[in-house]
Structure 1
Amino acid sequence: MTTDKLAESKAFYTQILNFGITFENEFYLLLHTPDKKTNLVFLLPNHPSQQPLFQEPFNGKGMFLTIEVDVIYEETKKKGVEIVIDIRDEVWGDRHFAIQDPNGIGIDIVRYSEPVTD
């Protein structure tokens, strides 16, 4: 994601979602999920070291992340994070809630399960 909110993104993902820092410098932030299986990258817009394709800033719309974890709802609330979609069970089996990062990205925190059939 190309954004001028590197510090805010770093704080959010490391303090709220327990991501780790793989690498960072003044214009680039590479994070990893707690299990180290997935990476997330943040880059300052219009940085001269990057090709034009990677310079356009993200506009905050049309993107969301889904993170499959055991539900951490109460822990997230205790950290003072605004819950955008309250915790709920869906008919297709998922239990989830949603929050939003400093860039406007919706984050769906989900525990996947089989649907309950009668």
Structure 2
Amino acid sequence: MSIRRVMPDIRSEAMEESRDFYGLLGFEEVMNLGWVMTLASPSNPTAQVTFMSQDKSAPVVPDMSVEVDDVDAVHAAMRESGAEIVHSLQDEEWGVRRFFVRDPNGKVVNVLSHQ
């Protein structure tokens, strides 16, 4: 398994203000679905931060996202370890396959692969 990128997920009711603030650091908007927005560095596209007002199909907003090359293998490893799956493995309409898992610190991790 390999990790493609890791990004913080920040719960926000101030999407535009966040975009403007992080724009001052050099981030640019690369995705915006209304309820979720991702900003990235133009010089290092995997340096990203995501803002969410909610999660469209999950019960919670995750604390971080980890993109992996094989989400099914990671899901199987997490289930085998006994980790708490917070949101079941599923294909999302916006082109990712993902699940949420709770880490030992209580943080919710969105584990995903692009389809």
Shorter-chain TM-score bucket reads 0.3 to 0.5
Task: Give the structure-2-normalised TM-score.
Answer: 0.43
Determine which structure has greater relative contact order: mean sequence separation of CA pairs < 8 Å that are 6+ residues apart, divided by chain length: 2
Query: Greater strand percent: which structure?
Result: 2
Task: Give the structure-1-normalised TM-score.
Answer: 0.42
